[in-house]
Amino acid sequence: MNAPNVEIPDRMNAATAFIDDNVEAGRGDRIAIHYTPDDSTLTYAEVLAAVNRAGNALRDIGIDLEQRVLLLLLDGPDFVSCFFGAIKIGSVPIPTNTLLEPDDYEYLLNDSRARALIVSEPLLKRIEPIRNRLLYLRHLIVAPGPDGAEPELPASSGAQSVYSLGEITASAAPELDPEPMSKDDPCFWLYSSGTTGFPKGTVHLQHDMLYCADTYGRHVIAIRDTDVTFSVAKLFFAYGLGNALYFPFRVGASTVLFPGRPEPAAVFEIIERTAPTILYSVPTSYGAMLAHEGAPGRKALASVRICVSAGEALPPALYDRWLERYGVEILDGIGSTELLHMFIANRPGAVRPGSSGQIVPGYEARIVDEHGHDAPVGQIGDLLIKGDSTCALYWNRHRQTKETILGEWIRTGDKYRADEDGYYWYQGRTDDMLKVGGIWVSPFEVEAALLEHPRVLEVAVVGAEDADRLTKPKAFVVLRHGTQPDEHLATTLKLFVKNTIAPFKYPRWIEFVESLPKTATGKIQRYKLR
Domains of the chain: 14-32+41-181 (3.40.50.980), 203-429 (3.40.50.12780), 442-529 (3.30.300.30)
User: What pLDDT, on a 0 to 100 scale, did the predictor assign at position 1?
Assistant: 45
Do 385 and 365 touch, CB atoms closer than 8 A? yes
Amino acid at 424: Y
Do 229 and 244 touch, CB atoms closer than 8 A? yes
Q: What are phi and psi of 223, to 5 degrees?
A: -65, 140
Please tell me the distance from the alpha carbon of residue 530 to that of residue 528, in angstroms, as a whole number. Answer: 5
User: What pLDDT, on a 0 to 100 scale, did the predictor assign at position 166?
Assistant: 97
User: What pLDDT, on a 0 to 100 scale, did the predictor assign at position 39?
Assistant: 95
User: What pLDDT, on a 0 to 100 scale, did the predictor assign at position 193?
Assistant: 66
User: What pLDDT, on a 0 to 100 scale, did the predictor assign at position 197?
Assistant: 57
Alpha carbons within 13 A on the beta-carbon side of 361: 17
Q: Which residues contact 99 (CB under 8 A, 6 or more apart)?
A: 439, 502, 504
Is 9 exposed, middle or buried, given 0-12, 13-18 or 19+ CB atoms closer than 10 A? exposed
Beta bridge partners of 228: 254
Three-state DSSP state, 308: strand
What angle do the packed helices 44-60 and 77-88 form, to 10 degrees?
60
Q: Which residues contact 34 (CB under 8 A, 6 or more apart)?
A: 40, 41, 228, 254, 255, 256, 257, 274
Do 18 and 84 touch, CB atoms closer than 8 A? yes
Residue spans of the chain under pLDDT 70: 1-3, 193-197, 519-523
Structure pTM?
Answer: 0.88
Q: What is the dihedral of CA 20, 23, 26, 32, to 10 degrees?
A: 120
Q: How many residues does the chain have?
A: 530
Q: What are phi and psi of 503, to 5 degrees?
A: -60, -30
